[in-house]
A and B are shown apart, each in its own frame.
Chain A
Amino acid sequence: ETGVTQSPTHLIKTRGQQVTLRCSSQSGHNTVSWYQQALGQGPQFIFQYYREEENGRGNFPPRFSGLQFPNYSSELNVNALELDDSALYLCASSLALAGYNEQFFGPGTRLTVL
């Protein structure tokens, strides 16, 4: 059983650019959640995907968007990058069962916006 993987590990972009981050969920998991973790802070929920549909969104602007594919892998896209978007982006996968869905996190993608 493989765990959650994310790519790339690190990324440097300039303000105004667009970025795509990728996540492969743990085997058998059908739900993917994305979190942003700023330096020295706890992870903040961006959105969640369940069976290829967005299933909940945190307080992030529309320039943060995502996709989930039939194999349950997922992408996070951020348009018009701002300096404050610099953070560790975490993907977490889970198996959505009623009342219980422990989340397993990937190692994250460190995004730096210059």
Chain B
Amino acid sequence: QQQVKQSPQSLIVQKGGISIINCAYENTAFDYFPWYQQFPGKGPALLIAIRPDVSEKKEGRFTISFNKSAKQFSLHIMDSQPGDSATYFCAARWGNTPLVFGKGTRLSVIA
């Protein structure tokens, strides 16, 4: 049972454009929703995270939008740059339970 569904699988965006990655979850007990960025040959690195008491969190060019009623959350990357080209994973967890990851989105930002 996949508890976190991520889409799209891959994404190509022009430099300066907006990258949008979506995730949907099933477990209403989840209370922590992080996004990880992974470059080839590296481990995932925490990018930004949100808790369900807020609907949006912004850090620099990265924004998480959270819709509790729809059980969905998304990552927006504004002014996308070639250096943002990586694989992005959404994840979810409740309490101190292990992270449940989506399958990932491979983002390519082209000049």
User: Which residues of A are in contact with B by a Cβ distance under 8 Å?
Assistant: 4, 33, 40-45, 48, 56, 58, 90, 92, 96, 98-99, 101-108
Judge whether B96 and A90 touch: CB under 8 Å. Answer: no
Across the interface, A107 reaches (CB within 8 A) one of B34, B41, B97, B98, namely B41
**B59 vs chain A, min Cβ distance (A):** 14
**Which of A56, A92, A108 touches B97 (beta carbons < 8 Å)?**
A56
B32-54 interface (Cβ within 8 A of A): 34, 36, 41-46, 49
B44:A90 contact, CB within 8 angstroms: yes
A105 to B45, CA, bound (A): 7
Partner of A41, one of B36, B42, B45, B104: B104
A104 and B101 form a contact (CB under 8 A): no
- Please provide the chain B residues from 1 to 53 with a CB less than 8 Å away from any CB of chain A in the complex: 6, 34, 36, 41-46, 49
Q: How many residues does chain B have at the interface if contact means C-beta atoms less than 8 Å apart?
A: 22
Known interface pairs A42-B89, A99-B95, A101-B96; A107-B43 also in contact (CB < 8 Å): yes
Please indicate the chain A residues that have their CB under 8 angstroms from the CB of B49 in the complex.
102
- The answer to whether B104 touches A107 (Cβ under 8 A) is no
Give 19 new A-B contacts, CB below 8 A, not counting A107-B43, A108-B43.
Answer: A33-B99, A40-B104, A41-B103, A42-B91, A42-B101, A42-B102, A42-B103, A45-B99, A45-B100, A90-B44, A92-B43, A96-B96, A99-B95, A102-B34, A102-B46, A103-B46, A105-B36, A106-B43, A107-B42
